[in-house]
Structure 1
Amino acid sequence: MNKRASLRTKDSVPSIFRVLDIAVLSLSLFVVASLYSVPLTTDYLLVLTVMTTVYLFFSDSTGLYRRLRHGHFSERVTLIGIVTSVSFLVVISIIFLFKESETFSRLTFFLWYLLSLVGLVGWRVIYRFNRRRSYRSGQNLRKVAIVGLTESGIKLRNEIEKFPELGFKFVGFFDDRDVERLQIQNETLSGGVMDALELAKNDAIDSVYICLPVAAEGRIAHIIRTLSDSTVNVFFVPDFLLSTMMHGNVSNLGTVDTISVFEQPVSGSQQFYKRAFDIAFSFWALLLLAPVLLAIAVAIKTTSKGPVLFRQHRYGLDGKKINVHKFRSMTVMENSDKVVQAKKGDARITKVGAFLRRTSLDELPQFFDVLIGNMSVVGPRPHAVAHNEEYRKLVDYYMLRHKVKPGITGWAQINGWRGETDTLDKMEKRIEFDLEYIRNWSLWFDIKIIFLTIFKGFINKNAY
């Protein structure tokens, strides 16, 4: 098979996976219905159609079909379990809202869910087993050459060797500079750039990754021109850009090609997915937590003077000012140009407020802010305007956290960086995790953070 045909085959794999998933969902329902003599009426067929639509929606929005050669298999299995579970919950919720629950058998739904989950994971296990067996026998491996014996090149090689199930085979480093000049220990060169070109011409390699500093623009341009005399796939791995790019994409302005460095990561269909998820999650959260919200409001009103809710000014998406609501936990209502963060044993905190802050229950009203669109369920926590103005001058890339909506919970909070930021290094760590979240955003990442929040995000020693 030539390379062009091979590329077409790879591009068709996600489509085949989608078809297989739909087949598993459909066959599972038919099997359960047959075993328990449940007639497949038009109502069941309509539910099947809705189920496959919802499943594909969540599969695409969480990147399930984009992870074919990336990441751990255990992560994909976990993602399949979450997508399947959420899809069934959504469909059941729709049936409940339309008051059609009596039309369907609960046992049929439960067994359909279990059989679908087993089938969706099962065929992927078989696929993985056959793929790994072919890789071990040397079939279908994509041979990779790295041009540039650099730190980023070594990191890339280590990733290839760390995950053999991805199907890559490292051929060697190629660089026109001597190893002594590079000052990199315990590494050897397989040749120069021309040697890599000869391998490419002889179909001995499939892909070349250029791992050179962007400062070496002339050398990079020469290498690309040299490799253009082959059909090998060429990728450029920039050095410093890797840690600062926000979902970098190649685009153009007129006839001029551009690479985005700082760009809003959630746009187009992804923006729709995230907003739809926020609306659904916040609606059900407010509905289910209504008794808790009422009890907290009564406790605040009967134990201290002042309003139940505290409205704060914050920066939202694109740095625009928004209002964020919390249950009042202090005897004062600070919202000025200078805000003093709460400290351990702070006299301003009420008795009820201390409990609310320690358990993060004071932030529950922010589900209303999510519902109206000022916030998201998951995102960087909103800082006071005064703190924003202070730290944007002290922490590199600070304002990039406003490329997405602020969230009720976030990746930084899950990793322990919440509460008082009394030192600069604490704020720097918080921003580091915020930017990591933005760079790696997906709906699956949001679901993962929400799940972890239940166990790690509510109560924290730094919350007071």
Structure 2
Amino acid sequence: MINSKRSDWAIPISILIHLCIINGLLYCLTPDTYTNVYHILHYNGSWLLVTYGLGYYTRKRKESFFTNIHKVVQLYLIYGLAYFALFGITGRIYESLEQQLLIYLVICSTLILYRSFYFWLRIKYRLWGGNSVRVVVIGRDKNLKKIRKVFDDPELGYRYMGYFNNKKSKSPTYLGPVLDCFLYILENNIDEIYLVASKFNRKELHNLIDFADNNLIRVKIIPDNKEIYSRGMFIELYETIPVLNLRRVPLDTLFARVVKRSFDIVFSAFVMITVLSWLVPLMFVLIKLESPGKLYFKQKRHGLKRRVFWCYKFRSMRPSKNANSKMATKGDMRVTRVGQFIRKTSIDELPQFFNVFLGDMSVVGPRPHMEVHTMDYEISVDKYLVRHFVKPGITGLAQIKGYRGEIAEKSDILNRTKLDIFYVEKWSIWLDIRIIFLTVYNVVKGEDNAY
């Protein structure tokens, strides 16, 4: 079996190959670029600066093709700006703008093909036994089963040898008491030691760490999690003290909030000018002709940090006393004929772009519920209020996954809440754009729950 250690050459080789692809394609597709050495320095220097700024190159063992795909998109967008900025600086373009755009797309496509080939080759290499890391665990608790799922994935290149624990076990991976670990580690060329912190006191931990350091073995500590860890957690350092933050909310950062708010303002203004400007008078006529009442139906709902705001919709029902407590159901007699159409096509939701423009809502986010339902769900649904860490949206991840409209079963609100929490923790502007695209697609296709 090949027992290759981490390759210190992986990142330099990747950088070299990327630069060779860029320069090779530019030389073949636009040879005039190489008439000026400053142009060559610009293309290469820009790539190095952008990749360094994004932290694009990494040696993380668990990284896959899709792990940091958002960084790939960011890299090609920013590098594209640098690529075309050269023409603005020099005032000269060597091919037509359309040809240069095609050349840049060829460069990006080739780089993506190389990325997919690299990860495919790395997986094959690890399956053959290369780039492997031999690991043992010292101590045992409930976390061991979970971390074994990572160790046992052959594509990641871990070679799990077993564990040591003072409590005897019949497990085939049990290697003996803790005192036996020292000789075993030295005789079997162990690369990494994982210590289960809950099984040792301070002095024992220091002894094990000192042993690892003195023998050039990497040591990692598995803390006692008290069953509270989640995928959204991350560690912050307060001086030298690690503090575990159990939920990362991307929209807590100023940059993310500015990006999302800017997108909301531009998108909502576009809809108000191009659609609502003529749709509002038309809906006024159609709604008034069928039933008496106001054009808009407004209702108090909970938004960011559970703040109350007025949510607006085109009125699709006849006025009733239970409008603020009862959701629309299939075949609901309160819905007018015009209401049936605008609810089926989601036209009734369009006035909420006014809410977006005013800042009470976002284009994408967890759907806001009636006050009475929020008060019910925050008690009956675990972690329901986590969805209020961000502004509510006209559409959301739960809606494109089929959880829209009436909440008929307990599972409906549970699954909706899980998807909303996933959105809160994984937000990105690209996720918003994807949700908007799929929302439009679903509206055109038609949805069974739109009634």
TM-score normalized with structure 2 length: 0.72
The whole-number CA distance in structure 2 between the counterparts of 1:90 and 1:301 is 46
Q: How does 1:98-247 map to 2 (within 5 A)?
A: 105-132=96-123, 134-136=125-127, 138-147=129-138, 152-162=143-153, 164-179=154-169, 188-196=173-181, 198=183, 204-209=189-194, 217=198, 219=200, 224-229=205-210, 230-231=212-213, 232-236=218-222, 238=225, 240-243=227-230, 246-247=232-233
CA contact (8 A) 2:166 2:178 kept: yes
CA contact (8 A) 2:168 2:177 kept: no
2:263 alignment partner, one of 255, 275, 280: 280
Q: How far 1:361 moved relative to its partner?
A: 3.6
The unaligned stretches of length 5 or more in structure 2 are: 86-90
CA contact (8 A) 1:278 1:371 kept: no
The whole-number CA distance in structure 2 between the counterparts of 1:77 and 1:251 is 24
CA 1:440–1:320: 2 relative to 1, 3 Å: same
Q: 3-state SS of the aligned residue for 1:170?
A: strand
Q: 3-state SS of the aligned residue for 1:272?
A: helix
Q: Does 1:379 align with 2:365?
A: yes
CA 1:328–1:178: 2 relative to 1, 3 Å: farther
Amino acid paired to 1:319: R
The whole-number CA distance in structure 1 between the counterparts of 2:34 and 2:176 is 68
Aligned to 2:251: 266
Aligned to 1:97: none
Q: How far 1:121 moved relative to its partner?
A: 1.0
Q: Does 1:359 align with 2:342?
A: no
Q: 3-state SS of the aligned residue for 1:405?
A: coil
The unaligned stretches of length 5 or more in structure 1 are: 95-99, 181-185
CA contact (8 A) 1:265 1:403 kept: no
CA contact (8 A) 1:147 1:173 kept: yes
The RMSD of aligned alpha carbons is 4.9
The whole-number CA distance in structure 2 between the counterparts of 1:265 and 1:187 is 43
2:407 alignment partner, one of 421, 424, 431: 421
Q: Does 1:330 align with 2:335?
A: no
Q: How far 1:175 moved relative to its partner?
A: 3.3
The whole-number CA distance in structure 2 between the counterparts of 1:221 and 1:334 is 66
Q: 3-state SS of the aligned residue for 1:156?
A: helix
Q: Does 1:313 align with 2:300?
A: yes
CA 1:291–1:132: 2 relative to 1, 3 Å: same
CA contact (8 A) 1:329 1:353 kept: yes
Q: How far 1:381 moved relative to its partner?
A: 2.0
2:30 alignment partner, one of 20, 30, 33: 33
Q: 3-state SS of the aligned residue for 2:380?
A: coil
Question: Aligned residues, how many?
Answer: 426
CA 1:134–1:218: 2 relative to 1, 3 Å: closer
Amino acid paired to 2:229: L
CA contact (8 A) 1:55 1:83 kept: no
Select between 112-121 and 366-375 the one with higher mean Cα deviation.
366-375
Amino acid paired to 1:385: E
The whole-number CA distance in structure 2 between the counterparts of 1:409 and 1:91 is 34
CA offset digits 1:374-410 (Å, max 9, x no partner) = 3344332222222211111112222122222323333
CA offset digits 1:117-164 (Å, max 9, x no partner) = 2222133244335534543454432333345655543333223433x3
Amino acid paired to 2:190: I
CA offset digits 1:289-330 (Å, max 9, x no partner) = 854444543442121135544444333333333444434333
1:390 alignment partner, one of 364, 373, 376: 376
CA contact (8 A) 1:313 1:335 kept: no
The whole-number CA distance in structure 2 between the counterparts of 1:31 and 1:284 is 41
CA offset digits 1:185-241 (Å, max 9, x no partner) = x764233444455555678334344568xxxx4647676445322232314263622
Greater Cα radius of gyration, structure 1 or 2: 2
Select between 199-208 and 420-429 the one with higher mean Cα deviation.
199-208
The whole-number CA distance in structure 1 between the counterparts of 2:195 and 2:274 is 58
The whole-number CA distance in structure 1 between the counterparts of 2:219 and 2:235 is 18
CA contact (8 A) 1:316 1:375 kept: yes
Q: 3-state SS of the aligned residue for 1:347?
A: coil
The whole-number CA distance in structure 2 between the counterparts of 1:413 and 1:264 is 21
The whole-number CA distance in structure 1 between the counterparts of 2:141 and 2:350 is 48
The whole-number CA distance in structure 1 between the counterparts of 2:167 and 2:407 is 46
